[in-house]
Amino acid sequence: MYLKYLLFLLSVFPLSLLALEPEPQISFAREDKPHSYYVEQAEAWAKELQRDSTSETNWYNYFRSCRNAHGTADWRSDFVDESPYLMEGGEIVEIIGDYIPDTFTHLYLSYLTQGIGTENSENLLKAYSMNPDFPGIHSSMISYAESSLNRELRKDTNVAWSKTNYISPQLLNYGYNVLMSLESDAVLFTQHDNDTYPIWMLQDAMGIREDVTVINIDFLLLPKFREVILRNLEIPSIDLGEVDIDEYRLNWQKVVGHIIKEYEGERPLYLGMTLFEHLYKDFEDKLFTSGLAFRYSEEGLDLIEKNKYFYEEVFLLDYLSHNFFSDPNQMNVNYQNANYMNCFKVVYDNYKSEKLTNQALELRQLAIEIAAKVKNPTFMKNIDEAFK
C-alpha cells in the first residue's frame, strides 16, 4: 500500500521539476541544516528511488532524510503532513523489506526505527557483523548496549568507534571539561547525542573519569532500564505508563522531577547544562554552577573558587579559539559551547570584585568570541552586557 502510494506520487511530479540535488544524508545531530532542507531532500531521494528502487544507498538516504525531518520537527507524528514525500520510519522499513529484504540497510533500519531500546536487537547485531564500519552504526550499538545495561559491549564498541574519528574533537573537549567539573563518584544526567556519546567514549575508550555514572534521560523512558537505574540510586520506581511519542518532554520532566524529589543518596548529583530548561525549572534554586554542570544541593553552595580552578587550571579551552578541524556539526558545537557562560560569569564577577582587570578583560574577550559564533544578536547583546 505505502509503496504504491509513493510511486503514484513520483509519477505525478516530473523529475525535471526537482530543484534540489539529492545529497548524502547524515544524522541531524551531526550537522546544522534547517528542517526545510530535510523535507526537500526526502523528495529528492524519493525520486532517486523511482530510478532505482533496489539501491541500498537510495533507500538509506531517503530514510535518513525523513528521519531528520522528523527529528527537526521535535519528533511530532504530524510532520508527515508537510509533504507527500515524507513517511515515518516504520512505514519505510516495511517497503524496504519488499524490495531489498535481509540486506544491511533493511536490518539496520529495522532496528533504528525502534529508538534506543532493545527491540529488533538481533537485526542490529546482524547488520553490525555485515558492515561494522558503516558511519553512525556505532552509536546504535552503544544505544543498544546501554539500554540492555551491557557495559562490556558499550566499552568494546566505543574502543572501535574511537578509531574512526567520527565524533568531533570539539565535542570530546567539551565532554572532557564536563567530566572535570564533577566530584568523585558523581551521577550526571544528560539528554542528547552531542552531550552523551563523547563522554561515554572518553570513559570507555580513554579511561577518563570512569568513576562518574552518566545517565542519558532518554533511556529512562525505557521501563526495564529505568527500574534498574532507580533501584541503584535507591529511588522508588515510577510508572510513566505508555509513552506517547508527542509527549516526550512531559515524560522527561516527570522522571527528572521524580529523581530530584526522591534522591537521598551520598553520591553528588549533577545535571548537564544541555538539558532542556523546563526539566529543572521547579528546582533551579537548588542548582549551582560547577564548571559545565549544575550541582544539585538542598543547601546553598559557594563554588566561586572551584569555578576559578576549573577555568584557570583544568579546562581544555584552546579549541574555543583555535579549531583546526572542519566540522559539519560546527553550529551545534557553537550552541553547546554557550554553556561556558555560566562558569565564566562566576569567574568574571570574582575577577572584577578582586580588581583583577587584566584577567577580567581576557575572560570577557573569550566570552564575546564564543557568543559571536552563535550568531544570535540577542544572545550577543546579553553576553556583552553581562561581561561589562
Q: pLDDT per residue over 43-59, tens digit each?
A: 999 999 999 999 999 99
Min mean pLDDT across 140-149, 208-217, 318-327 is at 318-327
Nearest partner of 265 among 338, 321, 360, 187, judged by Cα: 187
Task: Work out the pLDDT band at 16, boundaries 50, 70, 90.
Answer: very low
In whole angstroms, give the CA distance from residue 241 to residue 254.
11
Task: Give the position of cell 553550529.
Answer: 331
Q: Is the dihedral of CA 258, 244, 63, 86 positive or negative?
A: negative
Task: Tell me the per-residue pLDDT of 89-113, one tens digit each, with 9 for 90 and over.
Answer: 999 999 999 999 999 999 999 999 9
Q: Which of 13-22, 36-45, 144-153, 354-363 shows the lowest mean pLDDT across its residues?
A: 13-22
Confidence of residue 386 (pLDDT cuts 50, 70, 90): very high
Nearest in space to 64 (alpha carbons), one of 82, 51, 46: 46
pLDDT at 31: 86
**306: its cell numbers:** 572551584
Q: Nearest Cα to 25, choosing from 62, 74, 75?
A: 62
Q: Specify the pairing of strand 269-272 against strand 293-296.
A: antiparallel
- pLDDT band (50, 70, 90) for residue 200: very high
DSSP track, 326-360:
--TTHHHHHHHHTTHHHHHHHHHHHHHHTT-HHHH
Q: How many CA atoms lie within 13 A of 233 on its CB side?
A: 28
Q: What is the mean pLDDT of residues 214-221?
A: 94
From CA 14, how far away is CA 127, in angstroms rounded?
Answer: 35
Say whether pLDDT at 66 is over 80: yes
**Is 50 exceeded by the pLDDT of residue 1?**
no
Distance, CA of 311 to CA of 370 (rounded, Å): 15
Nearest to 371 by CA among 362, 379, 363: 379
The answer to whether 38 and 24 are in contact (CB under 8 A) is: no
pLDDT digits over 328-359, tens only? 889 889 999 999 999 999 999 999 999 999 99
- Residue 129 CA to residue 125 CA, distance in Å, equals 6
* pLDDT higher at 10 or 386: 386
The four Cα atoms 115, 270, 224, 149 give a dihedral, to 10 degrees, of 80
Give the SS3 label for residue 222: coil
Say whether pLDDT at 248 is over 80.
no
Which of residues 326 and 155 earns the better pLDDT score?
155
Judge whether residue 6 has pLDDT over 70. Answer: no
User: How high is the pLDDT of residue 17?
Assistant: 47
- For residue 268, count other CB atoms closer than 10 A to its CB: 18
Residue 45, pLDDT score: 96
Percent of the chain having pLDDT more than 90? 79
d(CA 278, CA 272): 13
- Per-residue confidence band for 75, with pLDDT thresholds at 50, 70 and 90: confident
| Residue pointed to by grid coordinates 580513554 | 206
* pLDDT tens for each residue of 147-158: 999 999 999 999
Statement: residue 183 has pLDDT above 80: yes
- Average pLDDT of 230-252? 81
Instruction: Give the Cβ contact number of residue 221 at 10 Å.
Output: 18
User: Interior CA angle at 101 toward 99 and 102, to 5°?
Assistant: 155
Per-residue pLDDT, averaged over 358-378, amounts to: 96
Mean pLDDT within 234-257:
81
Q: What is the pLDDT of residue 349?
A: 98
> Does 368 score more than 90 pLDDT?
yes
347 versus 388: which is more confidently predicted? 347
Which residues lie below 8 Å from residue 284, measured CB to CB, with a gap of 6+? 277
Phi, psi of 231 (to 5 degrees): -65, -40
Mean pLDDT computed over every residue of the chain: 91
Contact 149, 229 (CB under 8 A): no
Q: Which pLDDT belongs to residue 8?
A: 44
Mean pLDDT within 209-231 = 95
- Residue 246's pLDDT is 59
Q: Give dist(CA 206, CA 187) in Å, integer.
A: 19
